[in-house]
Structure 1
């Protein structure tokens, strides 16, 4: 199958590499030093004690995805609308788009452009980062949970689940993929902005009684907003998020990676989205809002 990776950062490069290794025709869209290094020496994936080098098509031109049958959509949330509009101008009407992004708002934008029948979503569970241009470092467990956004998407879900499993990517299907994404989003809300605002790893947050309490308060505020949005999360989901965090103690969250590299994070799209939703409903999520404002202040000084 011809597969395009739109946004070949840590997540896109890591999962795209499985398809390359399985013999599929993969085109990776990237930019800057990361792209330059890949074109020079290939894409290097380091997972545990294994190192592989991928030699395929690396480009900065969206037009190079024109004949792809599946697009793994992995750009930063703030770029979703602009990139999706460019992509919609070039890909085939039969091509499917699967978002591997954080958050729960990107699906709305993609459905507007491509239609429910062509959009799939994935809850991504992986610890990966760009160690240096052209080099992706991954550790720990990884898997995808995928689902169609169409009520009649069972065949599409099955088709792509088999494709992913054939490439040795652990993959499950969820009939309620947006509920599953909200549960993943809950984990991100609890740990991502707080880690970036305080320059702490997940484990350091868990071990600091004060930061742990802040994280717990964020969790409670987040499930209140989930319920308001029609997704029945509860305190048990917060407990599960903390339990899962034990497996990611050494993980440097994506927002913290961005801040340490002097980049603007996805705080606006992932956290600001919920803060604005709360304001619109007259709800107070002051713990999360305070962390969000601290993070925005830190970004403004970059």
Structure 2
């Protein structure tokens, strides 16, 4: 199958590499030094015990996605609308878009542009980072949970789950993919903004009683908003999120990676969405808002 990766950072490059090695024709859309290095020396994936080099099509031209049947959509949340609109101008009307993004708001934007029947979503579980241009470092286990946004997409999600599994990507299907993504979103809100603000890894947050308490408070706020929106999260989900964090103790969150590289984070989109919904329903999220404001102060100093 001809497959595109729109936004070939850590996540897109890592999962795309399996599809390349699985015999699919993959086009990676990237930019800057990362693109230059991949065109020169290929895409390097470094795991705990292995090193793989991928040589396929690396480009900055969205037009190179024209003939793709499936697009792994991996751009940062703040770039979703612009990137999707550029894609719509060039990809075939029968092409499908699978979002591998953080947060729970991107699907709404993608549906507006491509229609509900062409958009699928994935909850992504991976510890990966761009170590340097052209080189992705990954550790620990990885998997995807995917799902269509409507019941009529059951055959479609099955088809793509089989494709991903055959390529060596552990993939399961969820009939409630947005609820699953809310649970992942909960994890992201617990650790991403706080780690970026305090320059701490997930494990350091877990071990610090004060930071751990702040994370717990953020979790309670998130649960209240999610429940009001029809996604029944509970304190049990919060406890599971903390338990899962134990397996990612050394993980440097994506927001902390951005701050350390002098880049703006996804905080406006990830935190902004919850803030917007909390305001509509008159729910206080003071803990998350305080961390967000401290993070914005840090971003402004970049």
Summarize the alignment of residues 246-261 of structure 1 with structure 2, pairs less than 5 Å apart: 246-261=246-261
1:35-87: CA deviation from partner (whole Å, max 9, x where unpaired) = 00000000000111110000000000000000000000000000000000000
Structure-2 separation of matches of 1:263 and 1:242: 27
1:171-226: CA deviation from partner (whole Å, max 9, x where unpaired) = 00000000000000000000000000100000000000100000111111110011
Deviation (angstroms), 1:150: 2.1
Q: Determine if the alignment matches structure 1 residue 93 to structure 2 residue 93.
A: yes
Structure-2 separation of matches of 1:157 and 1:104: 19
Q: Which residue of 2 aligns with 1:286?
A: 286
Q: Which runs of 5+ in 1 are unaligned?
A: none
Structure-2 separation of matches of 1:75 and 1:223: 26
Deviation (angstroms), 1:280: 2.4
Structure-2 separation of matches of 1:263 and 1:95: 32
Deviation (angstroms), 1:273: 1.5
Q: Determine if the alignment matches structure 1 residue 235 to structure 2 residue 235.
A: yes
Q: Which residue of 1 aligns with 2:114?
A: 114
- The answer to which of 147-156 and 120-129 deviates more is 147-156
Structure-2 separation of matches of 1:100 and 1:74: 5
Find the residue that maps to 2:151 and give its secondary structure: coil
Structure 1: which 4+ aligned runs deviate by more than 2 Å?
A: none
Q: Which residue of 2 aligns with 1:154?
A: 154
Summarize the alignment of residues 209-220 of structure 1 with structure 2, pairs less than 5 Å apart: 209-220=209-220
Q: Which residue of 1 aligns with 2:23?
A: 23
Summarize the alignment of residues 4-19 of structure 1 with structure 2, pairs less than 5 Å apart: 4-19=4-19
Indicate if the aligned counterparts of 1:126 and 1:140 stay in contact, CA closer than 8 A: yes
Q: Which residue of 2 aligns with 1:163?
A: 163
- The answer to which of 275-284 and 69-78 deviates more is 275-284
Q: Which residue of 2 aligns with 1:64?
A: 64
Deviation (angstroms), 1:276: 2.2
Find the residue that maps to 1:192 and give its secondary structure: helix
Find the residue that maps to 1:231 and give its secondary structure: coil
Deviation (angstroms), 1:165: 0.5
Indicate if the aligned counterparts of 1:98 and 1:120 stay in contact, CA closer than 8 A: yes
1:119-169: CA deviation from partner (whole Å, max 9, x where unpaired) = 000000000000000000000010000000122011001100100011010
Structure-2 separation of matches of 1:120 and 1:15: 16
Normalised to the residue count of structure 2, the TM-score between the two structures is: 0.99
1:253-274: CA deviation from partner (whole Å, max 9, x where unpaired) = 0000000000000000001221
Structure-2 separation of matches of 1:272 and 1:161: 31
- The answer to which of 270-279 and 15-24 deviates more is 270-279
Find the residue that maps to 2:268 and give its secondary structure: helix
Structure-1 separation of matches of 2:168 and 2:69: 19
Structure-1 separation of matches of 2:231 and 2:115: 22
Q: Which residue of 2 aligns with 1:40?
A: 40
Indicate if the aligned counterparts of 1:226 and 1:232 stay in contact, CA closer than 8 A: yes
Q: Which residue of 1 aligns with 2:139?
A: 139
Normalised to the residue count of structure 1, the TM-score between the two structures is: 0.99
Indicate if the aligned counterparts of 1:145 and 1:171 stay in contact, CA closer than 8 A: yes
Alignment RMSD (CA, Å): 0.5
Q: Determine if the alignment matches structure 1 residue 266 to structure 2 residue 272.
A: no
Q: Kindly tell me the number of residue pairs found equivalent between the two proteins.
A: 302
